[in-house]
Amino acid sequence: MTDTTSSPDNAAQPGKAWSGRFSEPVSDLVKRYTASVNFDQRMARQDIRGSLAHARMLARQGIIAAADLADIERGMNQILGEIERGEFAWNLDDEDVHLNIEKRLTALVGDAGKRLHTGRSRNDQVATDIRLWLRDAIDTILALIGEFQRQLLDVAEANAATPMPGFTHLQVAQPVTFGHHLMAYYEMSRRDAERFADCRKRVNRLPLGSAALAGTSYPIDRESVAAELGFDEVCYNSLDAVSDRDFAIEFCAASALLMTHLSRLSEELILWMSPRVGFIDLADRFCTGSSIMPQKKNPDVPELVRGKTGRVNGSLISLLTLMKGQPLAYNKDNQEDKEPLFDTADTVIDTLRIYADMITGIRVKADAMLGALSQGYATATDLADYLVKKGLPFRDAHEAVALAVRAAERRGCDLPQFSAAELKAAMAEVPGAADRLDEDVFAVLTVEGSLASRKHIGGTAPAQVRAAVARARAQLG
Protein backbone atom coordinates (compact mmCIF):
# COMPACT_ATOMS: atom_id res chain seq x y z
CA MET A 1 0.00 0.00 0.00
CA THR A 2 1.28 3.43 -0.79
CA ASP A 3 1.49 5.93 2.00
CA THR A 4 -1.54 8.19 1.80
CA THR A 5 -0.76 10.48 4.69
CA SER A 6 1.76 12.44 2.63
CA SER A 7 -0.86 13.81 0.22
CA PRO A 8 -2.07 17.34 0.95
CA ASP A 9 -5.61 18.18 2.10
CA ASN A 10 -6.13 14.52 2.82
CA ALA A 11 -6.72 14.04 -0.91
CA ALA A 12 -5.38 10.58 -1.71
CA GLN A 13 -5.32 11.10 -5.48
CA PRO A 14 -3.94 14.62 -5.62
CA GLY A 15 -4.64 16.46 -8.83
CA LYS A 16 -7.32 13.98 -9.90
CA ALA A 17 -10.69 15.31 -10.94
CA TRP A 18 -12.26 13.12 -8.25
CA SER A 19 -9.52 13.28 -5.58
CA GLY A 20 -11.83 14.17 -2.71
CA ARG A 21 -13.62 10.85 -2.77
CA PHE A 22 -10.61 8.56 -2.39
CA SER A 23 -8.48 7.49 0.53
CA GLU A 24 -5.55 5.91 -1.33
CA PRO A 25 -3.85 6.46 -4.65
CA VAL A 26 -3.79 3.92 -7.44
CA SER A 27 -0.61 1.97 -8.07
CA ASP A 28 1.55 2.83 -11.05
CA LEU A 29 0.39 -0.37 -12.68
CA VAL A 30 -3.29 0.52 -12.27
CA LYS A 31 -2.56 4.01 -13.51
CA ARG A 32 -0.93 2.65 -16.64
CA TYR A 33 -3.62 0.01 -17.06
CA THR A 34 -6.52 2.44 -16.87
CA ALA A 35 -5.01 5.35 -18.77
CA SER A 36 -5.86 5.94 -22.41
CA VAL A 37 -3.98 9.16 -23.08
CA ASN A 38 -1.26 7.40 -25.03
CA PHE A 39 -3.74 6.53 -27.73
CA ASP A 40 -6.74 8.79 -27.30
CA GLN A 41 -4.65 11.96 -27.69
CA ARG A 42 -5.32 11.38 -31.38
CA MET A 43 -8.75 12.85 -30.71
CA ALA A 44 -7.36 16.08 -29.21
CA ARG A 45 -8.60 18.33 -32.03
CA GLN A 46 -12.05 16.77 -31.90
CA ASP A 47 -12.05 17.11 -28.11
CA ILE A 48 -11.30 20.80 -28.35
CA ARG A 49 -13.89 21.36 -31.07
CA GLY A 50 -16.51 19.61 -28.97
CA SER A 51 -15.55 21.54 -25.84
CA LEU A 52 -15.73 24.87 -27.63
CA ALA A 53 -19.19 24.10 -29.03
CA HIS A 54 -20.30 23.02 -25.55
CA ALA A 55 -18.88 26.16 -23.94
CA ARG A 56 -20.51 28.45 -26.50
CA MET A 57 -23.85 26.78 -25.85
CA LEU A 58 -23.38 27.17 -22.08
CA ALA A 59 -22.73 30.88 -22.60
CA ARG A 60 -25.71 31.30 -24.98
CA GLN A 61 -27.94 29.65 -22.42
CA GLY A 62 -26.60 31.85 -19.63
CA ILE A 63 -25.13 28.85 -17.79
CA ILE A 64 -21.64 30.36 -17.85
CA ALA A 65 -20.69 34.00 -18.26
CA ALA A 66 -19.51 35.51 -21.54
CA ALA A 67 -16.19 36.29 -19.86
CA ASP A 68 -15.73 32.60 -18.97
CA LEU A 69 -16.37 31.66 -22.58
CA ALA A 70 -13.79 34.17 -23.76
CA ASP A 71 -11.24 32.68 -21.36
CA ILE A 72 -12.07 29.14 -22.49
CA GLU A 73 -11.72 30.11 -26.16
CA ARG A 74 -8.41 31.85 -25.53
CA GLY A 75 -7.07 28.92 -23.51
CA MET A 76 -8.20 26.32 -26.05
CA ASN A 77 -6.58 28.30 -28.82
CA GLN A 78 -3.28 28.20 -27.02
CA ILE A 79 -3.65 24.48 -26.25
CA LEU A 80 -4.39 23.75 -29.89
CA GLY A 81 -1.20 25.57 -30.84
CA GLU A 82 0.79 23.62 -28.28
CA ILE A 83 -0.57 20.34 -29.63
CA GLU A 84 0.10 21.31 -33.25
CA ARG A 85 3.66 22.27 -32.40
CA GLY A 86 4.18 19.06 -30.42
CA GLU A 87 4.77 21.06 -27.24
CA PHE A 88 1.80 19.82 -25.24
CA ALA A 89 2.96 17.80 -22.23
CA TRP A 90 0.70 14.74 -22.16
CA ASN A 91 0.60 13.26 -18.69
CA LEU A 92 -0.35 9.73 -17.74
CA ASP A 93 -1.49 10.99 -14.34
CA ASP A 94 -4.32 12.77 -16.09
CA GLU A 95 -5.55 9.52 -17.59
CA ASP A 96 -7.01 10.54 -20.91
CA VAL A 97 -7.15 13.22 -23.58
CA HIS A 98 -10.16 14.89 -21.96
CA LEU A 99 -8.63 15.36 -18.51
CA ASN A 100 -5.25 16.36 -19.93
CA ILE A 101 -6.77 19.17 -21.94
CA GLU A 102 -9.12 20.29 -19.19
CA LYS A 103 -6.28 20.41 -16.68
CA ARG A 104 -4.11 22.47 -18.99
CA LEU A 105 -7.05 24.78 -19.68
CA THR A 106 -7.53 25.37 -15.98
CA ALA A 107 -3.82 26.01 -15.55
CA LEU A 108 -4.03 28.61 -18.32
CA VAL A 109 -7.32 30.37 -17.55
CA GLY A 110 -8.26 29.43 -13.97
CA ASP A 111 -11.91 29.16 -12.90
CA ALA A 112 -13.33 29.40 -16.42
CA GLY A 113 -11.51 26.14 -17.16
CA LYS A 114 -13.20 24.53 -14.18
CA ARG A 115 -16.60 25.66 -15.46
CA LEU A 116 -16.22 23.98 -18.87
CA HIS A 117 -17.39 20.60 -17.60
CA THR A 118 -20.74 22.01 -16.39
CA GLY A 119 -23.61 19.88 -17.68
CA ARG A 120 -21.25 17.42 -19.31
CA SER A 121 -19.55 14.13 -18.50
CA ARG A 122 -16.58 12.41 -20.05
CA ASN A 123 -19.09 9.78 -21.11
CA ASP A 124 -20.91 12.01 -23.58
CA GLN A 125 -17.68 13.88 -24.31
CA VAL A 126 -15.78 10.79 -25.44
CA ALA A 127 -18.71 9.49 -27.48
CA THR A 128 -18.81 12.87 -29.26
CA ASP A 129 -15.07 12.91 -29.88
CA ILE A 130 -15.06 9.43 -31.42
CA ARG A 131 -17.93 10.32 -33.70
CA LEU A 132 -16.22 13.51 -34.86
CA TRP A 133 -12.99 11.60 -35.41
CA LEU A 134 -14.69 8.77 -37.25
CA ARG A 135 -16.65 11.14 -39.45
CA ASP A 136 -13.38 12.67 -40.66
CA ALA A 137 -11.90 9.21 -41.20
CA ILE A 138 -14.93 8.16 -43.25
CA ASP A 139 -14.66 11.30 -45.39
CA THR A 140 -10.99 10.54 -46.03
CA ILE A 141 -11.83 6.93 -46.89
CA LEU A 142 -14.62 7.94 -49.27
CA ALA A 143 -12.29 10.30 -51.10
CA LEU A 144 -9.64 7.58 -51.34
CA ILE A 145 -12.11 4.99 -52.63
CA GLY A 146 -12.98 7.53 -55.34
CA GLU A 147 -9.30 7.91 -56.19
CA PHE A 148 -8.83 4.12 -56.33
CA GLN A 149 -11.90 3.81 -58.54
CA ARG A 150 -10.67 6.44 -60.99
CA GLN A 151 -7.36 4.64 -61.41
CA LEU A 152 -9.14 1.31 -61.78
CA LEU A 153 -11.41 2.75 -64.48
CA ASP A 154 -8.44 4.02 -66.50
CA VAL A 155 -6.82 0.58 -66.54
CA ALA A 156 -10.16 -1.14 -67.24
CA GLU A 157 -10.85 1.18 -70.15
CA ALA A 158 -7.40 0.64 -71.64
CA ASN A 159 -8.06 -3.11 -71.42
CA ALA A 160 -11.72 -3.16 -72.42
CA ALA A 161 -10.84 -5.48 -75.33
CA THR A 162 -7.86 -7.34 -73.84
CA PRO A 163 -8.91 -11.02 -73.74
CA MET A 164 -8.03 -13.14 -70.74
CA PRO A 165 -9.38 -16.42 -69.45
CA GLY A 166 -12.26 -16.09 -67.02
CA PHE A 167 -12.00 -18.76 -64.36
CA THR A 168 -14.33 -20.81 -62.23
CA HIS A 169 -12.72 -23.23 -59.78
CA LEU A 170 -9.49 -21.66 -61.03
CA GLN A 171 -10.01 -23.61 -64.26
CA VAL A 172 -10.24 -21.77 -67.57
CA ALA A 173 -13.98 -21.25 -68.09
CA GLN A 174 -14.85 -18.64 -70.75
CA PRO A 175 -13.10 -15.68 -72.33
CA VAL A 176 -13.55 -12.35 -70.60
CA THR A 177 -11.65 -9.12 -71.03
CA PHE A 178 -9.18 -7.87 -68.48
CA GLY A 179 -11.19 -4.66 -68.35
CA HIS A 180 -14.32 -6.62 -67.48
CA HIS A 181 -12.43 -8.45 -64.75
CA LEU A 182 -11.25 -5.17 -63.23
CA MET A 183 -14.75 -3.71 -63.45
CA ALA A 184 -15.90 -6.47 -61.10
CA TYR A 185 -13.71 -4.80 -58.48
CA TYR A 186 -15.16 -1.43 -59.37
CA GLU A 187 -18.61 -2.78 -58.51
CA MET A 188 -17.32 -4.13 -55.19
CA SER A 189 -15.74 -0.80 -54.35
CA ARG A 190 -18.96 1.01 -55.25
CA ARG A 191 -20.83 -1.05 -52.67
CA ASP A 192 -18.02 -0.41 -50.20
CA ALA A 193 -18.40 3.32 -50.71
CA GLU A 194 -22.17 3.02 -50.25
CA ARG A 195 -21.62 1.19 -46.97
CA PHE A 196 -19.27 3.85 -45.61
CA ALA A 197 -21.60 6.65 -46.70
CA ASP A 198 -24.51 4.87 -45.04
CA CYS A 199 -22.54 4.23 -41.85
CA ARG A 200 -21.63 7.94 -41.77
CA LYS A 201 -25.30 8.83 -41.32
CA ARG A 202 -25.43 6.94 -38.04
CA VAL A 203 -22.02 8.18 -36.94
CA ASN A 204 -23.15 11.76 -37.47
CA ARG A 205 -25.44 12.11 -34.45
CA LEU A 206 -24.58 14.10 -31.35
CA PRO A 207 -24.28 12.37 -27.94
CA LEU A 208 -23.28 15.56 -26.08
CA GLY A 209 -25.95 16.65 -23.63
CA SER A 210 -26.51 13.10 -22.43
CA ALA A 211 -24.00 13.84 -19.66
CA ALA A 212 -23.06 10.78 -17.60
CA LEU A 213 -26.14 8.76 -18.53
CA ALA A 214 -29.38 10.49 -17.60
CA GLY A 215 -29.06 13.92 -19.16
CA THR A 216 -28.47 17.07 -17.14
CA SER A 217 -30.50 19.50 -15.06
CA TYR A 218 -29.03 22.58 -16.79
CA PRO A 219 -31.12 24.28 -19.48
CA ILE A 220 -28.93 23.08 -22.34
CA ASP A 221 -29.63 23.43 -26.06
CA ARG A 222 -28.42 20.28 -27.79
CA GLU A 223 -29.67 21.18 -31.26
CA SER A 224 -27.48 24.25 -31.46
CA VAL A 225 -24.42 22.20 -30.46
CA ALA A 226 -25.30 19.62 -33.11
CA ALA A 227 -25.59 22.35 -35.73
CA GLU A 228 -22.28 23.95 -34.76
CA LEU A 229 -20.46 20.62 -34.95
CA GLY A 230 -22.08 19.62 -38.23
CA PHE A 231 -24.08 16.71 -36.80
CA ASP A 232 -27.26 15.80 -38.68
CA GLU A 233 -29.23 15.28 -35.48
CA VAL A 234 -28.87 14.58 -31.78
CA CYS A 235 -28.93 11.11 -30.22
CA TYR A 236 -32.40 10.80 -28.76
CA ASN A 237 -31.73 8.65 -25.70
CA SER A 238 -29.07 9.61 -23.19
CA LEU A 239 -28.41 6.05 -21.96
CA ASP A 240 -27.98 4.79 -25.51
CA ALA A 241 -25.89 7.78 -26.57
CA VAL A 242 -23.17 7.27 -23.95
CA SER A 243 -22.99 3.50 -24.14
CA ASP A 244 -23.46 2.04 -27.60
CA ARG A 245 -20.63 1.85 -30.08
CA ASP A 246 -22.60 0.20 -32.86
CA PHE A 247 -21.57 2.96 -35.25
CA ALA A 248 -17.91 2.00 -34.71
CA ILE A 249 -18.76 -1.66 -35.22
CA GLU A 250 -20.51 -0.80 -38.47
CA PHE A 251 -17.47 1.10 -39.58
CA CYS A 252 -15.27 -1.90 -38.82
CA ALA A 253 -17.68 -4.19 -40.68
CA ALA A 254 -17.59 -1.92 -43.74
CA SER A 255 -13.81 -1.85 -43.43
CA ALA A 256 -13.59 -5.63 -43.16
CA LEU A 257 -15.60 -5.99 -46.37
CA LEU A 258 -13.52 -3.42 -48.20
CA MET A 259 -10.32 -5.16 -47.09
CA THR A 260 -11.81 -8.52 -48.09
CA HIS A 261 -12.36 -7.18 -51.60
CA LEU A 262 -8.87 -5.76 -51.80
CA SER A 263 -7.50 -8.99 -50.39
CA ARG A 264 -9.14 -10.92 -53.22
CA LEU A 265 -7.70 -8.51 -55.77
CA SER A 266 -4.32 -8.86 -54.08
CA GLU A 267 -4.53 -12.62 -54.29
CA GLU A 268 -5.18 -12.28 -58.02
CA LEU A 269 -2.32 -9.85 -58.54
CA ILE A 270 -0.01 -12.26 -56.74
CA LEU A 271 -1.24 -15.16 -58.83
CA TRP A 272 -1.08 -13.21 -62.10
CA MET A 273 2.43 -12.07 -61.30
CA SER A 274 3.69 -15.56 -60.61
CA PRO A 275 6.01 -16.56 -63.48
CA ARG A 276 3.84 -19.69 -63.87
CA VAL A 277 0.93 -17.47 -64.89
CA GLY A 278 2.68 -14.32 -66.05
CA PHE A 279 -0.43 -12.26 -66.89
CA ILE A 280 0.93 -9.04 -65.40
CA ASP A 281 3.96 -7.43 -63.96
CA LEU A 282 3.83 -5.05 -61.02
CA ALA A 283 5.92 -1.90 -60.86
CA ASP A 284 9.15 -2.47 -58.94
CA ARG A 285 8.19 0.03 -56.27
CA PHE A 286 5.57 -2.40 -54.92
CA CYS A 287 7.88 -5.40 -54.85
CA THR A 288 10.99 -6.46 -53.00
CA GLY A 289 13.82 -8.81 -53.77
CA SER A 290 15.13 -11.70 -51.77
CA SER A 291 18.24 -11.46 -49.61
CA ILE A 292 19.35 -14.89 -50.80
CA MET A 293 17.71 -15.60 -54.17
CA PRO A 294 18.90 -13.03 -56.70
CA GLN A 295 16.22 -13.83 -59.27
CA LYS A 296 13.25 -13.04 -56.99
CA LYS A 297 10.79 -10.18 -57.34
CA ASN A 298 8.18 -10.61 -54.66
CA PRO A 299 4.76 -8.91 -54.63
CA ASP A 300 5.12 -7.77 -51.01
CA VAL A 301 2.54 -5.01 -51.12
CA PRO A 302 -0.42 -7.14 -52.26
CA GLU A 303 0.70 -9.86 -49.86
CA LEU A 304 0.58 -7.38 -47.01
CA VAL A 305 -2.84 -6.15 -48.04
CA ARG A 306 -4.01 -9.76 -47.90
CA GLY A 307 -2.29 -10.14 -44.52
CA LYS A 308 -3.59 -6.90 -43.02
CA THR A 309 -7.14 -7.95 -43.80
CA GLY A 310 -6.70 -10.28 -40.84
CA ARG A 311 -6.13 -7.47 -38.37
CA VAL A 312 -9.12 -5.53 -39.68
CA ASN A 313 -11.34 -8.60 -39.34
CA GLY A 314 -9.88 -9.02 -35.85
CA SER A 315 -10.84 -5.46 -34.88
CA LEU A 316 -14.42 -6.10 -35.92
CA ILE A 317 -14.56 -9.14 -33.67
CA SER A 318 -12.87 -7.17 -30.86
CA LEU A 319 -15.52 -4.48 -30.92
CA LEU A 320 -18.42 -6.90 -31.20
CA THR A 321 -17.06 -8.81 -28.24
CA LEU A 322 -16.37 -5.60 -26.32
CA MET A 323 -20.02 -4.61 -26.62
CA LYS A 324 -21.91 -7.81 -26.16
CA GLY A 325 -21.81 -8.16 -22.39
CA GLN A 326 -22.21 -4.55 -21.34
CA PRO A 327 -25.22 -3.52 -19.30
CA LEU A 328 -26.44 0.03 -19.86
CA ALA A 329 -25.05 2.59 -19.73
CA TYR A 330 -21.36 3.58 -19.99
CA ASN A 331 -18.73 1.11 -18.80
CA LYS A 332 -14.99 1.54 -18.88
CA ASP A 333 -14.86 -1.40 -21.30
CA ASN A 334 -15.68 1.16 -23.94
CA GLN A 335 -12.26 2.74 -23.58
CA GLU A 336 -11.06 -0.33 -25.48
CA ASP A 337 -12.96 0.76 -28.57
CA LYS A 338 -10.33 3.21 -29.73
CA GLU A 339 -7.27 1.20 -30.63
CA PRO A 340 -9.10 -1.26 -32.90
CA LEU A 341 -10.98 1.64 -34.46
CA PHE A 342 -7.89 3.76 -35.08
CA ASP A 343 -5.95 0.78 -36.36
CA THR A 344 -8.76 -0.13 -38.73
CA ALA A 345 -9.01 3.39 -40.14
CA ASP A 346 -5.22 3.65 -40.47
CA THR A 347 -5.02 0.30 -42.25
CA VAL A 348 -7.86 1.07 -44.64
CA ILE A 349 -6.51 4.55 -45.44
CA ASP A 350 -2.96 3.33 -46.09
CA THR A 351 -4.19 0.37 -48.11
CA LEU A 352 -6.38 2.53 -50.35
CA ARG A 353 -3.60 5.05 -50.85
CA ILE A 354 -1.16 2.40 -51.88
CA TYR A 355 -3.68 0.57 -54.04
CA ALA A 356 -4.63 3.55 -56.16
CA ASP A 357 -0.99 3.91 -57.08
CA MET A 358 -0.37 0.20 -57.52
CA ILE A 359 -3.22 -0.23 -60.01
CA THR A 360 -1.60 2.25 -62.36
CA GLY A 361 1.66 0.30 -62.02
CA ILE A 362 0.20 -2.88 -63.53
CA ARG A 363 1.84 -3.90 -66.79
CA VAL A 364 -0.51 -6.15 -68.73
CA LYS A 365 1.03 -9.07 -70.63
CA ALA A 366 -1.73 -9.52 -73.19
CA ASP A 367 0.06 -12.32 -75.06
CA ALA A 368 0.25 -14.50 -71.97
CA MET A 369 -3.45 -13.93 -71.26
CA LEU A 370 -4.36 -14.89 -74.81
CA GLY A 371 -2.03 -17.88 -74.71
CA ALA A 372 -3.74 -19.19 -71.57
CA LEU A 373 -7.09 -18.83 -73.30
CA SER A 374 -6.11 -21.28 -76.01
CA GLN A 375 -5.37 -23.97 -73.43
CA GLY A 376 -8.73 -24.50 -71.82
CA TYR A 377 -11.37 -24.89 -74.54
CA ALA A 378 -12.67 -21.55 -73.42
CA THR A 379 -15.15 -21.26 -76.32
CA ALA A 380 -16.83 -24.63 -75.70
CA THR A 381 -19.93 -22.94 -74.31
CA ASP A 382 -20.06 -20.74 -77.40
CA LEU A 383 -20.10 -23.85 -79.59
CA ALA A 384 -22.96 -25.32 -77.55
CA ASP A 385 -24.89 -22.03 -77.73
CA TYR A 386 -24.35 -22.00 -81.52
CA LEU A 387 -25.94 -25.44 -81.87
CA VAL A 388 -28.82 -24.42 -79.60
CA LYS A 389 -29.49 -21.36 -81.71
CA LYS A 390 -29.72 -23.73 -84.71
CA GLY A 391 -32.44 -25.71 -82.93
CA LEU A 392 -30.60 -28.43 -80.99
CA PRO A 393 -31.84 -28.85 -77.37
CA PHE A 394 -29.24 -27.50 -74.91
CA ARG A 395 -28.54 -30.83 -73.20
CA ASP A 396 -27.79 -32.48 -76.58
CA ALA A 397 -25.60 -29.55 -77.57
CA HIS A 398 -23.71 -29.87 -74.28
CA GLU A 399 -23.07 -33.55 -75.00
CA ALA A 400 -22.01 -32.90 -78.61
CA VAL A 401 -19.49 -30.27 -77.51
CA ALA A 402 -18.16 -32.52 -74.75
CA LEU A 403 -17.36 -35.07 -77.49
CA ALA A 404 -15.65 -32.37 -79.57
CA VAL A 405 -13.55 -31.34 -76.55
CA ARG A 406 -12.49 -34.95 -76.02
CA ALA A 407 -11.46 -35.17 -79.66
CA ALA A 408 -9.47 -31.93 -79.28
CA GLU A 409 -7.80 -33.30 -76.18
CA ARG A 410 -6.77 -36.44 -78.08
CA ARG A 411 -5.43 -34.33 -80.94
CA GLY A 412 -3.77 -31.83 -78.57
CA CYS A 413 -5.39 -28.80 -80.19
CA ASP A 414 -8.05 -26.19 -79.37
CA LEU A 415 -11.57 -26.20 -80.85
CA PRO A 416 -11.06 -23.48 -83.49
CA GLN A 417 -8.20 -25.52 -84.95
CA PHE A 418 -10.58 -28.23 -86.16
CA SER A 419 -12.15 -27.93 -89.60
CA ALA A 420 -15.96 -27.95 -89.80
CA ALA A 421 -15.82 -31.52 -91.13
CA GLU A 422 -13.69 -32.64 -88.18
CA LEU A 423 -16.07 -31.03 -85.70
CA LYS A 424 -19.01 -32.76 -87.37
CA ALA A 425 -17.22 -36.10 -87.17
CA ALA A 426 -16.39 -35.57 -83.51
CA MET A 427 -20.05 -35.05 -82.58
CA ALA A 428 -21.51 -37.67 -84.89
CA GLU A 429 -22.88 -39.75 -82.01
CA VAL A 430 -25.34 -37.03 -80.99
CA PRO A 431 -28.29 -37.09 -83.41
CA GLY A 432 -28.99 -33.76 -85.08
CA ALA A 433 -25.74 -32.07 -83.98
CA ALA A 434 -23.50 -32.44 -87.03
CA ASP A 435 -26.28 -31.41 -89.47
CA ARG A 436 -26.63 -28.11 -87.67
CA LEU A 437 -22.97 -27.20 -87.91
CA ASP A 438 -21.73 -24.93 -90.69
CA GLU A 439 -18.73 -22.83 -91.66
CA ASP A 440 -20.25 -19.89 -89.77
CA VAL A 441 -19.37 -21.70 -86.53
CA PHE A 442 -15.88 -20.15 -86.58
CA ALA A 443 -17.33 -16.72 -85.93
CA VAL A 444 -18.32 -17.86 -82.44
CA LEU A 445 -15.43 -20.23 -81.79
CA THR A 446 -12.87 -17.43 -81.81
CA VAL A 447 -12.16 -15.49 -78.66
CA GLU A 448 -13.20 -12.22 -80.31
CA GLY A 449 -16.51 -13.73 -81.45
CA SER A 450 -17.17 -15.16 -77.99
CA LEU A 451 -16.45 -11.83 -76.31
CA ALA A 452 -18.44 -9.73 -78.77
CA SER A 453 -21.52 -11.93 -78.41
CA ARG A 454 -21.91 -11.17 -74.67
CA LYS A 455 -23.19 -7.73 -75.39
CA HIS A 456 -25.96 -7.25 -72.81
CA ILE A 457 -25.61 -5.02 -69.73
CA GLY A 458 -23.11 -6.65 -67.40
CA GLY A 459 -21.59 -8.81 -70.16
CA THR A 460 -17.94 -8.94 -71.15
CA ALA A 461 -18.25 -7.61 -74.73
CA PRO A 462 -15.67 -4.83 -75.14
CA ALA A 463 -18.44 -2.38 -76.05
CA GLN A 464 -20.22 -3.23 -72.79
CA VAL A 465 -17.02 -2.85 -70.78
CA ARG A 466 -16.56 0.61 -72.27
CA ALA A 467 -20.18 1.40 -71.45
CA ALA A 468 -19.61 0.18 -67.88
CA VAL A 469 -16.58 2.45 -67.55
CA ALA A 470 -18.59 5.40 -68.88
CA ARG A 471 -21.44 4.63 -66.48
CA ALA A 472 -19.00 4.43 -63.60
CA ARG A 473 -17.39 7.74 -64.52
CA ALA A 474 -20.83 9.34 -64.56
CA GLN A 475 -21.52 7.88 -61.11
CA LEU A 476 -18.27 9.28 -59.79
CA GLY A 477 -19.06 12.69 -61.24
Decide whether 25 or 165 has the Cβ nearer to ligand ARG: 25
Ordered DSSP codes for 341-362: HHHHHHHHHHHHHHHHHHHHTE
- CB of residue 97 vs ligand ARG: minimum separation in angstroms? 7
243: contact with ligand ARG by CB under 6 A:
no
Which DSSP symbol is given to 116?
A: T
Side chain identity at 304, as an amino acid letter?
Answer: L
* Given 23, 27, 290, 419, the catalytic residue: 290
Helix (H) or strand (E) holding 309: helix 300-324
36: contact with ligand ARG by CB under 6 A:
yes
The H helix count followed by the E strand count for the chain is 20, 6
- CB of residue 336 vs ligand ARG: minimum separation in angstroms? 8
Distance (Å) of CA 408 to CA 163, 374, 426: 22, 12, 9
* Given 6, 169, 217, 291, the catalytic residue: 169
Decide whether 130 or 400 has the Cβ nearer to ligand ARG: 130
Residue 147 CB contacts under 8 Å (≥ 6 apart), including other chains: 352, 356
The answer to whether residue 54 is catalytic is no
Residue 209 CB contacts under 8 Å (≥ 6 apart), including other chains: 119, 124, 215, 216, 220, 222, 225, 234, 238
Residue 22 CB contacts under 8 Å (≥ 6 apart), including other chains: 11, 12, 13, 16
Q: Which of 47, 68, 94, 96 is in the footprint of ligand ARG by CB under 6 A?
A: 96
Q: Which of 21, 276, 332, 456 is in the footprint of ligand ARG by CB under 6 A?
A: 332
263: contact with ligand ARG by CB under 6 A:
no
Q: Which stretch binds ligand ARG (CB under 6 A): 12-20, 121-129, 387-395, 405-413?
A: 121-129
Distance (Å) of CA 111 to CA 44, 116, 355: 21, 9, 51
Q: Which stretch binds ligand ARG (CB under 6 A): 120-128, 170-178, 253-261, 309-317?
A: 120-128
The answer to whether residue 169 is catalytic is yes
CB atoms within 10 A of CB 207: 27
122: contact with ligand ARG by CB under 6 A:
yes
Decide whether 96 or 250 has the Cβ nearer to ligand ARG: 96
Q: Which of 335, 347, 351, 464 is in the footprint of ligand ARG by CB under 6 A?
A: 335
- CB of residue 37 vs ligand ARG: minimum separation in angstroms? 8
Q: Which stretch binds ligand ARG (CB under 6 A): 103-111, 118-126, 317-325, 396-404?
A: 118-126
Residues marked active site are found at 169, 290
Residues forming contacts to ligand ARG in the complex (CB under 6 A) are 36, 40, 96, 122-123, 126, 330, 332, 334-335
